């Protein structure tokens, strides 16, 4: 068994002046499509999704653009355009965060969308899991005059790199799926390719109270080379609740 985790969708080039897009999924032998998300999108828009589904053989994902007509649950309406399709089988190992680019040209109108997802292997049963929203990153003390930092989750980049200075703060608002224990790291990007590890932490599922509460938690990252060369960052987060559980 594996768990497909859907994180977000980015519109790199919309089909019309504004696309009314929706996502459908089909799991294993189920012949019915399930609509899991819908929104209006323009070029440059990025939307966070909070959805996951367990599967044993394969999962199919389809992106559609609505023509504005009413549609029944799990179906498309006449005139709706398919903007992309892909399917995934059960991998040997966890994939980390992945991206699937979907391109289409329908009636001379082109579009490009990018879907972010992850596949987590589970031992035949649903894993103990949480959804965590990383809300903001504060630079308490920069390593240099300006640091170019990014975050990785289970060794896969999921935010940045962006420049930060002492006392500066960046909004993140990125949701990740936590199964068991997961590793979080803060890095400084180096032009030579020798990026500096500014600190790491472990996130453990079901350790942070009720979902969608206002309580905010934080992680401290500390890098220290000497008494005069160090850096300190604080990452803030809270627990979220899945939008749909299949």
Name the band, by pLDDT with cuts 50, 70 and 90, for residue 180: confident
pLDDT of residue 16: 83
Q: Which residues of 71-83 are buried (b: 16+ CB within 10 A; e: fewer)?
A: beeeebeeebbeb
pLDDT of residue 246: 37
161 and 107 within one domain: no
Residues 173 and 201: beta-carbon distance below 8 Å: no
138 and 108 within one domain: no
Residues 161 and 189: beta-carbon distance below 8 Å: yes
182 and 140 within one domain: yes
Name the band, by pLDDT with cuts 50, 70 and 90, for residue 245: very low
137 and 115 within one domain: no
Average pLDDT over residues 215-227: 84
168 and 113 within one domain: no
pLDDT of residue 221: 95
pLDDT of residue 160: 86
Does residue 199 surpass a pLDDT of 90?
Answer: yes
pLDDT tens column, 99-153:
899 999 998 889 999 998 889 886 554 455 678 889 999 999 999 899 999 998 8
Could you tell me the sign of the dihedral formed by the alpha carbons of 195, 130, 47, 80, in that order?
Answer: positive
Residues 66 and 96: beta-carbon distance below 8 Å: no
77 and 151 within one domain: no
34 and 74 within one domain: yes
Q: Which domain holds residue 143?
A: 129-245
Going by C-beta distance under 8 Å and a sequence separation of 6 or more, which residues neighbour residue 53?
A: 3, 4, 25, 27, 59, 245, 246
pLDDT of residue 126: 47
pLDDT of residue 140: 96
Q: Peptide bond before 161: cis, by omega within 30 degrees of 0? A: yes
Does residue 73 surpass a pLDDT of 80?
Answer: no
pLDDT of residue 214: 72
Average pLDDT over residues 177-199: 85
Edge-to-edge order in the sheet of strand 109-121: 98-106, 109-121, 2-13, 46-55, 244-245
Q: Which of 11-20, 142-151, 190-199, 221-230 is predicted with the least confidence, judged by mean pLDDT?
A: 221-230
Q: Which residues of 95-127 are buried (b: 16+ CB within 10 A; e: fewer)?
A: bebeebebebeeeeeebbbbbbbbbbebeeeeb
Domain boundary among 94, 121, 148: 121
Average pLDDT over residues 174-179: 80
Instruction: Locate the DSSP E strands across the chain.
Output: 2-13, 19-27, 34-41, 46-55, 58-65, 81-89, 98-106, 109-121, 129-141, 147-153, 156-164, 169-179, 181-188, 196-204, 217-224, 230-240, 244-245
**% the chain with pLDDT above 70:** 89
82 and 28 within one domain: yes
Q: Looking at the 3D structure of the chain, how many domains does it have?
A: 2
> Can you give the pTM of this predicted structure?
0.66
Name the band, by pLDDT with cuts 50, 70 and 90, for residue 74: low
The structure tokens listed for 159 are 């935010």
Top-confidence residue, 122 or 44: 44
98 and 45 within one domain: yes
133 and 240 within one domain: yes
């Amino acid at each position: 068994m594996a768990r497909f985790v859907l994180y977000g969708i980015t519109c790199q080039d919309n089909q019309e002046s504004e696309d009314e897009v929706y996502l459908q999924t089909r799991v294993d032998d189920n012949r019915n499509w399930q609509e899991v998300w819908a929104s209006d999108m323009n070029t440059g828009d990025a939307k966070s999704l909070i959805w996951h589904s367990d599967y044993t053989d394969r999962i199919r994902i389809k992106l559609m653009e609505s023509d504005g007509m009413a549609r029944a649950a799990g179906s498309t309406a006449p005139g709706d355009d398919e903007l992309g399709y892909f399917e995934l089988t059960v991998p040997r190992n966890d994939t980390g965060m992945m991206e699937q680019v979907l391109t289409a040209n329908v009636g001379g109108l082109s579009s490009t969308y990018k879907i972010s997802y992850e596949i987590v292997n589970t031992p035949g049963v649903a894993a103990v899991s949480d959804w965590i929203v990383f809300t903001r990153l504060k630079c308490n003390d920069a390593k240099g005059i300006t640091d170019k930092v990014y975050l990785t989750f289970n060794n896969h980049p999921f935010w940045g790199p962006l420049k930060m200075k002492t006392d500066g703060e960046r909004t993140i608002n990125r949701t990740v799926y936590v199964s068991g224990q997961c590793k979080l790291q803060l890095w400084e990007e180096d032009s030579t390719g020798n990026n500096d590890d500014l600190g790491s932490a472990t996130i453990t599922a079901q350790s942070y109270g009720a979902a969608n509460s206002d309580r905010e938690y934080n992680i401290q990252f500390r890098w220290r080379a000497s008494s005069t060369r160090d850096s300190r960052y604080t990452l803030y987060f809270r627990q979220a609740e899945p939008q749909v559980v299949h």
